[in-house]
Amino acid sequence: MDYFNVEQDEASINVERHKARELRQSQWWKRQLAKGCCYYCRKSSPPSALTMDHIVPLIRGGKTKKGNVVTACKECNNQKKYLLPLEWNDYLESLNENGDR
- Over 70: is that where the pLDDT of 17 sits? yes
Mean pLDDT (the chain, rounded) = 90
Q: Which domains occur in the chain, in start order?
A: 10-98 (1.10.30.50)
* DSSP labels, 35-90: T-B-TTT--B--GGGEEEEESS-GGGT---SGGGEEEEEHHHHHHHTT--HHHHHH
pLDDT above 90 coverage of the chain, percent:
74
**pTM, two decimal places:** 0.84
CA atoms within 13 A on the CB side of 65: 6
pLDDT category at 63 given cuts 50, 70, 90 is: very high
pLDDT category at 93 given cuts 50, 70, 90 is: confident
